[in-house]
Each structure stands twice: as C-alpha cells, then as structure tokens.
Amino acid sequence: MMRISDTVKHLIIINVLMFIGTLTIGGGVLFYEWFAMYFPENESFRYWQIITHMFMHGSIMHLLFNMFVLWMFGTPVEQALGSKRFLFIYFSAGLGAVALQVGYYYFQYLSMETQAMDLGFTHEQIIEILKEGKVFKAIGPGFNQIYYASMVGASGCIMGILAAFGVMNPNAELMLIFLPIPIKAKYFIPGIIILDLVSGVTGQSFFSPSNTAYMAHVGGALIGFFIMWYWKKNQFNNNRWD
C-alpha cells in the first residue's frame, strides 16, 4: 500500500475534523452556515467561506470518496513536487473552482435579474422576494435555486491535483470503479473534465449526484493543469521551492 505523504495526511485530518464539526455543532446547521460557500448575493455569504468550504462535505460518502482520491493522487504529486508546490496547486485549484462556479451562477443570475427588472421590479425588491422564498412565476425556480445555492467539498482542489498528476504521468493507466478498463491519464482526465463541463451546461448528470457543482470541478482541473503544464514546460526543478 502506498504510504501517505505528510501534507495529504494533514489535509485529510482537517477535512475529517470539519465533518465531525458539521455533525455535532449547532445541530448540523450552524457549522454548515458558517463555513459552506454561499452565493455572494445571499445574506449568509461570508468572505472566509471562499476557503473554508474546501474542507466541508455534505455526507460521509462525499467525504470518503474525496479523501480516497486525495490520498491516491495527492500522495504521488506531493512526493514529486514537495509540500509547498503541492499546496500551491491545491489551494489555487480550489480558488479556481470557486471563481468558475460562482461566475457561472452570476451569468445565470444576472440574466434572470434583468428579466425581473423588465417586469418592473427593482434590485431591492428582487432581493426581498428571494429572501422570502417566493418564486417569480415568469422566470421559474432557477432564480431561487441560485440565490440559495451553497458549495461544499474538496472536489475542486482534488480535480486540480488530478489534472497535475495527469500532466506529470500522461501514460499512467487509470480506471473508473464501475468501468474496470485501463485508460491512460492523458485521455481519462480530459474525458472526466469534458463530462463535468457538459453536465454543468446541460444539467445532465453522468456519474455524480445532480446537485454537484460541475463548473467547480472544471475550474479546479483547468487551474491544476495550467500550473503543472507551466512548471513542467519550464523544468520546475530549476525553481524548486523546497
């Protein structure tokens, strides 16, 4: 069995502790409201959630799957790059995930806000109606869904690490649990990213639950890919931080 690297181990411990906090503090609600990432227009949004949501998970299966993937791919990436570069990719990918997901939400939200304003509502009235949970019948429930949307999970960070692994080991053979056919990383990882992109745009879920933040996966993966591609292209050992 592959020995877990130190930084990966510490990240897993933090994620587990945060999940325990979610279950035990404030009846399973208060901890979530503090640290999950809410849509910025929502009154529950706090700036620290941009970071803290990366350590939150919605269920035990969500946590176990993410921590398994973090151990499997994070350990070889950290061993190759060192802890500082590993963490740089990890958190950069997490921020990229937030940026793309929230940006995509805003693209939809602002379009629907414009429709509401065309119906004669002001910005203040729109926010008040959304706070009350009322639905704009002419627009549909999507407006409310975005306003109350929240993000949790390390998936964006992990997708960045997975993409970095693929750049470092393009010919490594990977398999899906339910499709035990070896596929090279240079095909497997782009395929996963494309499926996430299609799911995010169409709402059609392939492998993940329907409430998955697909654009966060895409954003994290793209950041991880470009960082690792740049380092590899410029022979990262010449600029090694450790």
Q: Give residue 181's region: left, alpha or beta (phi > 0; psi -120 to 50).
A: beta
Q: What is the pLDDT of residue 205?
A: 64
pLDDT in tens, 43-79: 999 999 999 999 999 899 999 999 999 999 999 999 9
CATH class belonging to 6-239: mainly alpha
pLDDT of the residue at 198: 83
Percent of the chain with pLDDT over 70: 90
Query: Residue 179: left if φ>0, alpha if ψ -120 to 50, beta else—which one?
Result: beta
pLDDT tens-digit series, residues 174-215: 766 555 677 788 888 888 888 878 877 776 665 666 567 889
Amino acid 207: pLDDT: 60
Per-residue HEC secondary structure of the chain comes to CCCCCHHHHHHHHHHHHHHHHHHHCHHHCHHHHHHCEECCCCCCCCCCHHHHHHHCCCCHHHHHHHHHHHHHHHHHHHHHHCHHHHHHHHHHHHHHHHHHHHHHHHHHHHHHHHHHHHCCCCHHHHHHHHHCCCCCCCCCCHHHHHHCCEECCCHHHHHHHHHHHHHHCCCCEEEECCEEEEEEHHHHHHHHHHHHHHHHHHCCCCCCCCCCCHHHHHHHHHHHHHHHHHHHHCCHHHHCCC
